[in-house]
Chains A and B, each alone.
Chain A
């Protein structure tokens, strides 16, 4: 619910705490429902100036792109506000299944989306982008990392994503494909945490998405992973079933899937949905 450009902190009391704003949101939503049905449906981009707010739960790796998409969507839909919660897709899936008040869910892995769909909280997900991994090193590359094999060296401090988050799954795949055993010094709770750790110079290298390297060019340097060992992850998006703003949520999803949405994603380094 918080409009953040970074991942949101998930507290241990996520469920009870989220119920409070959930109740508030429901109360707010109830008011505008009547208005929507009585007004004559106008053109999508020039909806009547009734305030709509949607909450988008999006994977941490989508932070910069979706923030931009939200801005563009708000510009095109006066009176609409898009609020974001960025975190690891696994965490977000868990929250939605516990009843968190999201309207849209954009995941960095199909597995987490399936979790939500299976629980009946979302339907008809569509892939809107793909991503692959890249090695991130601090700007000056103090450990002189050249390729994946360097990560297995015992002197090199590596940060990886936690095994259960999408980028952690991808990292495991990549390392398996490359036949390497890498022992990190820390497992980040999402890809942005790993990126930050690398950017601060606390570790010598980390495995993050190539879009993350692109988003932090001032702090990190990227080293490509050969395509034959790389993992390609798909990003599905769907509206959440219990959403109180189903119309607007659907419009946002369509926007993400549109050409304008694709342009923003491609510029950030995401691959096409194919």
Chain B
């Protein structure tokens, strides 16, 4: 009897509740957002990495920038840096890819030791790298002294020395990237190629290499970036002379003592070049276009 009277007052609040409650988020939306114990450190890390770069841009001497940048010493240092880093990257690829292949595929005694040793330049302080290069290739070095005696040429203080120093510190990046990809690659594609009549060399160039191209590209980019920024080994082994061995990092370091504004300007140039290259290559190579689905949808 009272039901009739109660029904109506009850019905309306319920209806209002269901109408006003915001639509609950779909599960996929909530899964996309980072939970705050992860988001906060992530944001701090991003800030930590970006702040120095942003402050370069903020504190850049914008008015005197054109004058500082058209200085011939700047152009020489930049051209030297880009040229040597590129050549060093090519050298790294020519020698690093076969090395990576040997580490991943060939069997020989001491292979795992070699794999560990190859990564030493990664953890070695660059100056130490420069010193060791002097001990080998310096005028009185193990190999260098022979070069001097027999052919009369020395390597330190030449542009070649810059390239060698850069190659030394940057090659492990390429070797690691390529070796990882080779180890993870599905060897059965190489079996398939063999059954189709390809010998091992053909398999390498027609099947293996194209399939690890993304890893090679990623390794090469890292290699180039590392070579571009190399300082300690360069100044120790190649020395410091404008146009010949004074790369951008050296120029920045020396400018800091004399003209901090110039140092900032040079740093900005280096930063811009690096960003342009990294961004240009990022889209093309770092997404996995060549996914190995092997024909299965």
Direct contact of A and B (CB under 8 A): yes
The residues of A with any CB-CB pair to B shorter than 8 Å are 9-10, 12-14, 16, 88, 90-91, 93-94, 157, 159, 162, 164-165, 184-189, 197, 200-203
Shortest CB-to-CB span from A164 to chain B, Å, is 5
Interface flags for B105-139 (1: CB within 8 Å of A; 0: not) read: 00000000000000000000001000000100011
Instruction: Please determine whether B257 and A200 come into contact, CB atoms closer than 8 angstroms.
Output: no
Instruction: Report the minimal beta-carbon distance from B45 to chain A, rounded to whole angstroms.
Output: 16
> Are A12 and B240 interface neighbours, CB within 8 A?
no
Q: List 9 A-B contacts (CB under 8 A).
A: A10-B256, A12-B249, A12-B253, A90-B257, A93-B257, A164-B254, A164-B257, A186-B241, A188-B240
In the complex, the answer to whether A200 meets B138 with C-beta atoms within 8 Å is yes
B210 at the interface (CB under 8 A from A): no
Picked from A10, A188, A201, the residue with its CB within 8 Å of the CB of B139 is A201
Return chain A residues, CB-CB under 8 Å to B224: none
Given A185-B239, A187-B240, A202-B138 in contact, is the A162-B245 Cβ separation under 8 Å?
no
Q: Is B294 close to A, CB under 8 A?
A: no
Nearest 6 interchain pairs by C-beta = A186-B239, A185-B157, A90-B257, A201-B140, A164-B258, A187-B240
CB of B228 within 8 Å of the partner chain:
no
Whole-angstrom distance from the CB of A208 to the nearest CB of chain B? 16
B92 within 8 A of A: no
Bound Cα distance from A9 to B126, whole angstroms: 12
Interface size classification for chain B = 20 to 34
CB distance from A239 to the nearest CB of B (A): 22
**Contact residue among A9, A10, A184 (Cβ-Cβ distance under 8 Å from B241):** A184
Chain A proximity of B235: nearest CB distance (Å): 7
Q: How far is the CB of B57 from chain A (nearest CB, A)?
A: 16
Give B140's nearest chain A residue, CB to CB. A201
Do B253 and A10 touch across chains, with their CB atoms under 8 A apart? Answer: yes
Binding site for A on B (CB under 8 A): 52, 127, 134, 138-140, 154, 156-157, 231-232, 235, 239-241, 245, 249, 252-254, 256-258, 260, 267
Given A201-B139, A202-B140, A187-B249 contact (CB < 8 Å): no
Number of A-B contacts (CB under 8 A): 65
Instruction: Tell me the smallest distance from the CB of A180 to a CB of chain B, in Å.
Output: 18
Check if A162 sits within 8 Å of B240, measured CB to CB. Answer: yes
Contacts of A201 in B (CB 8 A): 138-140
Given known pairs A91-B256, A200-B140, the reply for A189 and B157 (CB within 8 Å) is no
A165-B253 Cα distance, complex, nearest whole Å: 13
B256 lies within 8 A of A202 (CB): no
Q: Which residues of B contact A188 (CB under 8 A)?
A: 240
Taking a contact as CB atoms under 8 Å apart, the answer to whether B52 and A186 are in contact is: no
Instruction: Please judge, given known A-B contacts A186-B157, A186-B245, whether A197 and B239 are in contact too, CB under 8 Å.
Output: yes
On whether the beta carbons of A189 and B235 are closer than 8 Å, the reply is yes
State in angstroms the CA–CA spacing of A14 and B235 once bound together. Answer: 18
Contact across chains for A162 and B134 when beta carbons are under 8 A apart: no
